[in-house]
């Protein structure tokens, strides 16, 4: 085990394989919480009687494939019907307010739950069940309604065939260096997040000026999706890509792509959480899923399956160790900063797209 924790900065070759190996070792020999006695066992028995869960989240493999498969492996007898939709928060709010929703469980960053929680549409968790699954108070959000499962961290990706780490930006402001002019690409969803995150500490005026410089001086290219940006990076049309660490690691392992990431901070880290809807059609199964997802067992399983992992200090994941080893400063989404960043994000997006000056 000690050898696994000595992985040095994330640009070293073989990091994805090391990540997978570490997760497999951490998960080896564990006993499923389904076999426990007490509240965990009781909840599982009640969930099996319901027989299924309807899970909504972003349109990703994590939601549509990995989460259902890993949960059903841990808890046989409960079918997961997963729906990935980029507009899920808005649709879920509309259906919940109308009393027509069939959703049990929602996986999204904290920001997607704010309006649902404000209207009393998110259920709370039983203290005994939280304790039975090892979910500590620090693993919850919005007064205990949400359970923290994974972090998605912003980064700069590059092609290792063309660049050495020492030649790359050391700070976000280095993106304004003339050598990168016209050579940076990112999805419209991700790109505004860079100035928005910096705006949390540097202020709105500074952020708006930085966004203008990214648009006018750096001439960043914004494309509809990350796959489009990734293709441009692979073809050599662009040199740097605003991306996510988990996606870099996943594709490096699964497709052997010669792309790596740079530990540039402060880096925004969305806090993906699991929340159970009030009046969920399958409340016991939904609670079981959420508690499993926030447990040590669930986090290890999901890192192994999808590379989506808890990156907070002390988390039982290799991603947390990589972040610590790289000395990467994270700004982790929480109850307080998520609304502020959302407001900054909207203004940064307007500047970067040319909607405002």
User: Region 120-139: what's the mean pLDDT?
Assistant: 94
The enclosing H or E element of 228 equals: helix 226-234
User: Region 143-147: what's the mean pLDDT?
Assistant: 95
Q: Say yes or no: 309 and 184 in one domain.
A: no
User: Region 79-90: what's the mean pLDDT?
Assistant: 94
Give tens-digit pLDDT for 179-198.
999 999 999 999 999 999 99
* 350 CB-near residues (< 8 Å, 6+ apart): 356
pLDDT of residue 357: 87
**pLDDT at residue 21 is higher than 70:** no
Q: Say yes or no: 222 and 348 in one domain.
A: yes
Asked if the structure places residue 278 within a domain, the reply is yes
Question: Rounded to whole angstroms, what are the CA distances from 189 to 224, 332, 350, 352?
Answer: 8, 18, 12, 11
User: Region 76-100: what's the mean pLDDT?
Assistant: 94
* 13 CB-near residues (< 8 Å, 6+ apart): 160
Which CATH number belongs to the domain containing residue 115 in this structure?
3.40.190.10
Q: Say yes or no: 288 and 243 in one domain.
A: no
pLDDT of residue 35: 52
Q: Say yes or no: 138 and 174 in one domain.
A: no
Q: What is the 3-state secondary structure (H, E, C) of 90-146?
A: HHHHHHHHHCCCCCCEEEEEHHHHHHHHHCCCECCCCHHHHHHCCCCHHHEECCCCE
Paired strand residues for 140 = 147
Q: Say yes or no: 195 and 246 in one domain.
A: yes
Give tens-digit pLDDT for 194-223.
999 999 999 999 999 999 999 999 999 999
Q: What is the pLDDT confidence band of residue 36, given thresholds at 50, 70 and 90?
A: low
**pLDDT at residue 224 is higher than 90:** yes
Cα-based angle 48, 51, 53 (whole degrees, multiple of 5) = 115
Q: Say yes or no: 117 and 100 in one domain.
A: yes
Q: CA-based diameter of the chain, in Å?
A: 62
Give SS3 for 224: coil
**pLDDT at residue 17 is higher than 50:** no
Q: Say yes or no: 67 and 216 in one domain.
A: no
Q: What are residue 333's phi and psi, to 5 degrees? A: -55, 135
Q: Say yes or no: 185 and 239 in one domain.
A: yes
- Give the C-alpha separation, 178 to 219, whole Å: 10
Q: What is the pLDDT confidence band of residue 4, given thresholds at 50, 70 and 90?
A: very low
How many independent structural domains does the chain possess?
2
Give tens-digit pLDDT for 245-290.
999 999 999 899 999 999 999 999 999 999 999 999 999 999 999 9
Q: Say yes or no: 197 and 146 in one domain.
A: no
pLDDT of residue 22: 41
40-48 long-range contacts, CB within 8 A, separation 24+: 40/129, 40/132, 40/133, 40/291, 43/129, 43/132, 43/284, 43/287, 43/288, 43/291, 44/75, 44/288, 46/284, 47/75, 47/78, 47/282, 47/284, 47/285, 47/287, 47/288, 48/75, 48/77, 48/78
β pairing state of 330-332 and 267-276: parallel
User: Region 162-191: what's the mean pLDDT?
Assistant: 96
Q: Say yes or no: 145 and 162 in one domain.
A: no
Q: Are 18 and 319 in contact (CB under 8 A)?
A: no
Output the average pLDDT for the chain: 90
**pLDDT at residue 14 is higher than 50:** no
Asked if the structure places residue 53 within a domain, the reply is yes
Q: Say yes or no: 208 and 336 in one domain.
A: yes
Asked if the structure places residue 319 within a domain, the reply is no
β pairing state of 140-141 and 146-159: antiparallel
Give tens-digit pLDDT for 278-303.
999 999 999 999 999 999 999 999 99
- Give the C-alpha separation, 20 to 93, whole Å: 37
**pLDDT at residue 6 is higher than 50:** no
Q: What is the pLDDT confidence band of residue 33, given thresholds at 50, 70 and 90?
A: low
pLDDT of residue 37: 67
- Give the C-alpha separation, 51 to 288, whole Å: 12
Give SS3 for 243: strand
Asked if the structure places residue 96 within a domain, the reply is yes
Asked if the structure places residue 12 within a domain, the reply is no
Q: What is the pLDDT confidence band of residue 138, given thresholds at 50, 70 and 90?
A: very high
Q: What percent of the chain has a predicted confidence (pLDDT) above 90?
A: 87
Q: Are 248 and 157 in contact (CB under 8 A)?
A: yes
Q: Say yes or no: 76 and 56 in one domain.
A: yes
- Identify the domain containing residue 114 by its residue range: 26-151+270-313
């Amino acid at each position: 085990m000690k050898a696994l924790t000595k992985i040095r900065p994330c640009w070293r070759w073989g990091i994805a394989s090391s990540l997978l190996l570490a997760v497999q070792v951490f998960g080896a020999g564990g006993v499923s919480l389904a076999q426990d006695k007490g509240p965990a066992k009781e909840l599982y028995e009640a969930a099996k009687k319901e027989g299924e869960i309807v899970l909504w989240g972003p349109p990703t493999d994590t939601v549509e494939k990995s989460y259902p498969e890993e949960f059903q492996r841990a808890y046989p007898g409960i079918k997961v019907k997963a729906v990935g939709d980029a507009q899920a928060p808005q649709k879920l709010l509309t259906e919940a307010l109308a009393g027509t929703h069939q959703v049990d469980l929602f996986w999204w960053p904290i920001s997607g739950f704010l309006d649902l929680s404000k209207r009393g549409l998110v259920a709370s968790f039983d203290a005994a069940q939280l304790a039975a699954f090892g979910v500590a108070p620090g693993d919850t959000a919005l007064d205990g309604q949400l359970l923290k499962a994974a972090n998605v961290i912003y980064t700069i990706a590059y092609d290792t065939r063309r660049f050495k780490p020492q030649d790359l930006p050391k700070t976000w402001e280095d993106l304004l260096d003339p050598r990168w002019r016209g050579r940076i690409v990112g999805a419209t969803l991700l790109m505004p997040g860079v100035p928005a995150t910096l705006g949390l500490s540097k202020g709105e005026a500074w952020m708006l000026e930085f966004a203008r410089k990214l648009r006018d001086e750096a001439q960043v290219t914004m494309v509809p999706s990350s796959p489009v940006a990734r293709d441009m990076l692979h073809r050599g049309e662009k040199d740097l890509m605003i991306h996510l660490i988990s996606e870099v690691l996943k594709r490096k392992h699964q497709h052997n792509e010669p792309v790596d990431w740079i530990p540039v901070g402060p880096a925004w880290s969305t806090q993906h959480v699991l929340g159970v809807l009030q009046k969920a059609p399958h409340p016991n199964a939904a609670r079981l899923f959420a508690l499993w997802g926030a447990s040590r067992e669930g986090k290890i399983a999901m890192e192994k399956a999808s590379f989506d992992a808890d990156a907070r200090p002390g988390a039982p994941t290799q991603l947390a160790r990589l972040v610590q080893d790289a000395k990467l400063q994270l700004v982790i989404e929480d109850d307080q900063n998520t609304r502020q960043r959302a407001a900054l994000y909207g203004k940064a997006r307007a500047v970067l797209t040319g909607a405002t000056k």
